[in-house]
Each structure stands twice: as C-alpha cells, then as structure tokens.
Chains A and B, each alone.
Chain A
Amino acid sequence: MLEIKNLNKVYPGSLQALKGIDLSVTEPQVVAIIGSSGAGKSTLIRCINRLVEPTSGSVKLGGEEITTLNRRELRKARTRMGMIFQEYNLVERLTVMENVLSGRLGYVSFWAAFRRNYPPEDVRAAYELLDRVGLTGRHNDRADALSGGQRQRVGIARALMQKPDLLLVDEPTASLDPKTSRQIMRLIVELAHERGTPALVNIHDVVLAQASADRVIALRDGETVFDGKPDDLTPDVLTDIYGEEDWSATIRRDGDEVDAGADDGADEDKTGKRNNIDEKAIAG
C-alpha cells in the first residue's frame, strides 16, 4: 500500500531532517510514529503528500511513485491521502458542512465548489460522517464555534470525505485534554479499521501510542530507530529514542517487569549520540 525507500529531506541551511527512511505498510494498520520534537515526524508525514518536497528517495502509494508527479498528477494523488492536523486547520469562517465537503474539492468542478453545489452522494456521505463522528445536527455551525475536540472531529470527517487510501495524521491530540485525546485517538483508530485504511499517526503520547496503534515506529535525528509491536517498547528502547529518563511509569502493562535501570541502559545507544536535537524543532 505504502512503500517508502531511502527518503531524505534536507532543509536549506539546516540539518538533515530525514536520513534514508525506509518504511513499508502492507496491510491496513494504524502505525504510530513517535520521537522527540524535531526528530522528523512531521517532515516524514508531509513528504508523503509533498506538502514538503523530499530531497531524494521514493514514495509509492498503491504502486504509484509520488515524488516524480507533476502538479496536476500530484493534486490527483493528494485526493487519495486524507490528512488530519494538530491544530485541526479547519477553515474557521466556513460552516462545519463546508469544511467536511472541502474533502471533495479534488473531485468537483470549480463552479460546483464555488456554489457549494456538491453531488447528492457527497452530501449524503458528509451527513453520515458527521453522524459517525458525533456531530449530528451541527452542520450549519461555523467551525470557530466548536470546541477543540469537536473541531478535530470535523477534521477527521474532512479527511475521510476523500475516501482516502491512506490517512496522514499529524499530532491529532497534542492540542487536546487527556480525555478528549483518548476519544479522538479511539475514533481515528476505529474509523481506520472500519474502512480498511492504513494510517500514519505522529504522536507524542507514548502511552496513547502503545494503547491504540498496531505498530510503532520511532524516529531519532531523522532516522528510524525502532519499528515493531507496541508491546516491544521497553525502557531501553525509549531511552534509545528519547534519551535517559525514568521510563518505568510510562510503559503500559510491562511496567513491573523491567527494573528502573534506564540510567545505565543508556549506554547501548549505538551511535553514541544523545538526544541532542530536542529543541531544534523543524518548521513545517
């Protein structure tokens, strides 16, 4: 479904954000991407739909090479990738319905979009999705009248309106309170499984990532340092990803099994590099 090979990104005048990322998603699974701020999570997600242009490497979605598409072809390819954002990124002065229907912008003509004249099946799909995300009857509210959690629900509906082959989800819960975070994450996972759509989810919350994802990938300094099952995230692994810290309280379930030896376990860091890029947050 998604096949990324040797993907590199160098921002002009900056450090290398992605270093030879290889990633392959062959079944409809929810893949959590964890890592420190600046590790390249956002860049990776945005290199897939080319909101950020990759420097080199290959991204294939359903066999189609994305990196070499021209602008028209890229727009077409983007309709197959739904994206969900940390700050929701709804068009605030438009209604909920307009925001949801904007997921169909790649499919309708300019005049139809301008006159909000969408095909009946699109409108029906929009109503159904609003029901599904729990916003029945809110279609005429302006997006800026909603709470954070409600806005993210609209964001999810907008992404799913595209009937995407892949969901790109960038920190969906980072602006939400813990309870809403869990509800939103559960909703994303449920919908991805229901529709058989694979999802790449950038997420800071390790516990939430473990609890909801089918697979976890960790980035550090633009490199993949972990790729495996959520339960394989041990304190040693977390130390490798984030740097030294007492991880015993962070680990789900296996917490009592591992001793709090994160302090000396840190020496296993192969590159000898510590988590020194925390603050070099990469724009974009």
Chain B
Amino acid sequence: MSNSSVPDTVWKRPPAFITNPTVRMGAWVLLAAYLVWSVGSLDMDWERVARGLPRAGDMLARMFPPDFSRQSLLIRGVIESVQMAFAASFIGMILAIPLGLAAASNLAPRSVYLAARSLIVLSRTFHEILIAIFFVKIFGFGPLAGLLTLSVASVSFISKMIAEDIENMNMGQIEAIRATGASFSKLLIYAVQPQVLPRYLGVCIYRLDANIRHSTVVGIVGAGGIGATLSASFKRYDYDFSLAILLTIIALVFIGEIFSTWIRSRLR
C-alpha cells in the first residue's frame, strides 16, 4: 500500500464495532425489521385516543381558574414536602460519608468495599416509589414513610458519588501526607477531604433539589407531603384545586433548581 514512494491519498476510518460488512448490513436490516414489527404489534387503538381527547378538554376546562382558596391545606402540604426533603438530604449527607469512604476501592479493604458497594447497589435497585410503598406498609401513612424513603435514596446516591470521587483522587497527595507519618484519620482530613469536599457539597445540593421533586411524588402512594394532597384532589375531581397544587409544585421545583444552581456555581 504505502511502501511505494508516492503516499496514498485515500484513507477511510476502519469500522468501530462490526468489521464484517455482511454482518453489519444484516444488523441494520434486523433493526429495521424489529422497529416495523414493534410498532405494528402495539395495537394502537386510535378510536380510544379520539374519545379521550374531549375528556382531556373537559378536564382542562374544569381546571381553570386554579383554586387557591384552600391555602392552609396547600401550605401545610408544601411545608411537609420541603421538610421531608431537607431532613432526608441532611440524613443522606451524614450517613453517606462513612458509606462513601467504605465504598472507595482505593481506601477501603476489599471486603469492606464489596459490602458497601453491594449495599449501595441494592438500595439503588428499587425506584423511590417502590421503597415508599414498602415503608407506608410498615410505618403507615404520613411523612415518616416519605422521609425514610428519601433518606435511603439520598444515602445511596450521595455515597456512590463520593466513592467515585474518592477513587478519582490524585493519589500523589495521599502519598505525600502518608509519608509525613500521618494516621488514617489525619489522612482523611488533610488529603481526602480537601480533594472531595467541593464535589461532595455540590452533590448534596443537587440531591436536595432532587428530594424536593421526589417529595411531591412519594405522597401519591401515601407517604405524606404535597403529593398526598394532589392525589386526594384528583380522586375528588377537584381539578381546579389540582391545578393550584401543580402550579405550586412547579414553583417549588423551580425555586429549588435556581437555589441549587446558584449554590453549585459558587462551589467551584
């Protein structure tokens, strides 16, 4: 090819995944066939869609104007949600530190690491709603179940993030502090903490923001907060009140988002 003195002028990037051209074309054909089949087998009932549309219009009509008259109910729900979110974030922040350290392969012994990772994976397997249903069954309706749900989710999320950040640390700084004869606890405060603190705080604030969003949902399965109020209003066809709650949730999440973005931009 290029062993002649004249350099080649043709170059094509070699295929990244499937080198055999026949197999590659075959894969494309199979993918197209699957798409056609899956859309065909969904059994879309256009008539049901058509009948649903006026109902949606009717519902929208009954939503307007939003009814903010039951303010005490609304405010109580919001406060409960926000309290749940803050408390759960705080619990998550604290408990995630030991769990995150245990789940970092470059600091923890192998057995501790595996145990901590399994715990994190296990608690991340189930969606918040499933965990919420579980806690409502155990502890009954109300914000306690919601608080526990969000705490579990926060601990596993924050500790996973911390563990990954610790694993990405600059090990030279660790080595240098270790070489001074510092103990493990001093190593944590002089070499680990300075490297991971900004990201840790960022993750916590992000989690607070996420918890505010999630706290509005877990109520639907009975775990307290504004979600419970929303669920009740839908059941009673109080659509104007539902809209008021939805608008409140939008405002709440929006404020949470602004707050979290602002804090995180200041942490760099």
A interface vs B, CB < 8 Å?
Answer: 49, 51, 75-79, 81, 83, 85, 87, 89-94, 98, 102-106, 110, 113-114, 155, 158, 162, 168
Chain A contacts for B179, CB-based, 8 A: 49, 51, 78, 81, 83, 168
Interface residues of B in 180-198 (CB under 8 A from A): 180-183, 185-186, 189-191, 194-195, 197-198
User: B172–A75 contact, CB under 8 A?
Assistant: no
User: A94–B194 contact, CB under 8 A?
Assistant: yes
Query: Please, which residue of chain B has its CB at the minimum distance from the CB of A168?
Result: B179
Chain B contacts for A77, CB-based, 8 A: 181
User: B195–A105 contact, CB under 8 A?
Assistant: no
Jot down 19 A-B pairs with beta carbons below 8 A, ordered by A.
A51-B179, A75-B182, A75-B183, A78-B178, A85-B172, A89-B173, A91-B173, A91-B190, A91-B194, A92-B170, A92-B194, A93-B198, A105-B177, A105-B180, A105-B190, A110-B183, A113-B190, A114-B189, A162-B180
Q: How far is the CA of A104 from the CA of B177 in the complex (A)?
A: 10
B176 at the interface (CB under 8 A from A): yes
B interface vs A, CB < 8 Å?
Answer: 170, 172-173, 175-183, 185-186, 189-191, 194-195, 197-198
Q: How far is the CA of A87 from the CA of B172 in the complex (A)?
A: 8
Chain B contacts for A75, CB-based, 8 A: 181-183
User: A105–B173 contact, CB under 8 A?
Assistant: no
Q: Which 10 A-B pairs have CB atoms at the shortest separation, nearest pair first?
A: A106-B181, A78-B181, A79-B181, A89-B176, A105-B182, A89-B172, A83-B179, A93-B194, A75-B181, A105-B180
Q: How far is the CA of A102 from the CA of B185 in the complex (A)?
A: 13
Nearest Cβ in chain A — how far from B238, in angstroms? 53
Query: Please, which residue of chain B has its CB at the minimum distance from the CB of A75?
Result: B181
Query: Please, which residue of chain A has its CB at the minimum distance from the CB of B192?
Result: A91
User: A94–B190 contact, CB under 8 A?
Assistant: yes
Query: If the complex has contacts A102-B190, A110-B186, A113-B190, are A51 and B178 also in contact, measured as CB distance less than 8 A?
Result: yes
Nearest Cβ in chain B — how far from A187, in angstroms? 18
Nearest Cβ in chain B — how far from A58, in angstroms? 20
Nearest Cβ in chain B — how far from A170, in angstroms? 10
B175, B180, B195: the one contacting A93 at CB < 8 Å is: B195
Query: Please, which residue of chain B has its CB at the minimum distance from the CB of A106?
Result: B181
Query: Please, which residue of chain B has its CB at the minimum distance from the CB of A74?
Result: B181
Q: Which of B191, B197, B198 has the most CB of A within 10 A?
A: B191
User: B175–A89 contact, CB under 8 A?
Assistant: yes
Query: Please, which residue of chain B has its CB at the minimum distance from the CB of A72?
Result: B183
Q: How far is the CA of A139 from the CA of B248 in the complex (A)?
A: 50
Query: Please, which residue of chain A has its CB at the minimum distance from the CB of B171?
Result: A89
Nearest Cβ in chain B — how far from A269, in angstroms? 35
User: A78–B180 contact, CB under 8 A?
Assistant: yes
Q: How far is the CA of A105 from the CA of B195 in the complex (A)?
A: 18
Query: Please, which residue of chain A has its CB at the minimum distance from the CB of B187?
Result: A105
Query: Please, which residue of chain A has its CB at the minimum distance from the CB of B194?
Result: A93
Nearest Cβ in chain A — how far from B196, in angstroms? 10
Q: How far is the CA of A94 from the CA of B173 in the complex (A)?
A: 11
Q: How far is the CA of A260 from the CA of B183 in the complex (A)?
A: 53
Chain B contacts for A78, CB-based, 8 A: 178-181
Known: A83-B179, A105-B177. 20 other contacts (CB 8 A): A51-B179, A75-B183, A79-B180, A79-B181, A85-B172, A85-B175, A89-B175, A92-B173, A93-B197, A94-B190, A94-B194, A102-B177, A103-B180, A104-B180, A105-B181, A105-B190, A106-B182, A110-B185, A113-B182, A158-B176
A49, A81, A90: the one contacting B173 at CB < 8 Å is: A90
Query: Please, which residue of chain A has its CB at the minimum distance from the CB of B197?
Result: A93
User: A113–B189 contact, CB under 8 A?
Assistant: yes
Chain B contacts for A168, CB-based, 8 A: 179
Query: If the complex has contacts A83-B176, A85-B175, A113-B186, are A91 and B181 also in contact, measured as CB distance less than 8 A?
Result: no
User: A85–B176 contact, CB under 8 A?
Assistant: yes
Q: How far is the CA of A207 from the CA of B11 in the complex (A)?
A: 46
User: A91–B182 contact, CB under 8 A?
Assistant: no
Q: How far is the CA of A76 from the CA of B191 in the complex (A)?
A: 19
Chain B contacts for A76, CB-based, 8 A: 181
Query: Please, which residue of chain B has its CB at the minimum distance from the CB of A142?
Result: B194
Chain A contacts for B177, CB-based, 8 A: 91, 102, 105
Query: Please, which residue of chain B has its CB at the minimum distance from the CB of A79?
Result: B181
Chain A contacts for B176, CB-based, 8 A: 83, 85, 89-91, 155, 158
Q: How far is the CA of A89 from the CA of B177 in the complex (A)?
A: 9
Q: How far is the CA of A114 from the CA of B183 in the complex (A)?
A: 12
Q: How far is the CA of A199 from the CA of B109 in the complex (A)?
A: 34
Q: How far is the CA of A180 from the CA of B158 in the complex (A)?
A: 43
Chain A contacts for B170, CB-based, 8 A: 89, 92
